[in-house]
Amino acid sequence: MPLSAFIIDWAAVGLMLLRGDYDIMAGAVVGGIFVILLLVSGIGYKLCNGKCPNCGKKLAK
């Protein structure tokens, strides 16, 4: 979810830039929040789940 929202947000920012509208602060802030959510969810998943997301084998610690 955060990755798709991040991609949609930056696509909207890119379209704004192509139209010549350089007031992209809101889009940049929203994109930054989604980057933080991506990092937090990835770190939390790695810490809480001791399995590989692809094959399901237990990860060595």
Residue pLDDT, tens place only, 3-34: 788 888 889 989 988 999 888 898 889 888 88
Work out how many domains the chain is built from and give that number. Answer: 1
The answer to whether the beta carbons of residues 50 and 59 sit under 8 Å apart is: yes
Which structural domain, as residue segments, surrounds residue 24? 2-48
User: In terms of pLDDT, which residue wins out, 44 or 41?
Assistant: 41
Domain contains 29? yes
Torsion, Cα 27 29 17 2, to 10 degrees, reads -60
- The predicted model scores a pTM of 0.60
CA distance 57 to 37: 25
Domain contains 53? no
State residue 61's pLDDT score. Answer: 61
Domain contains 54? no
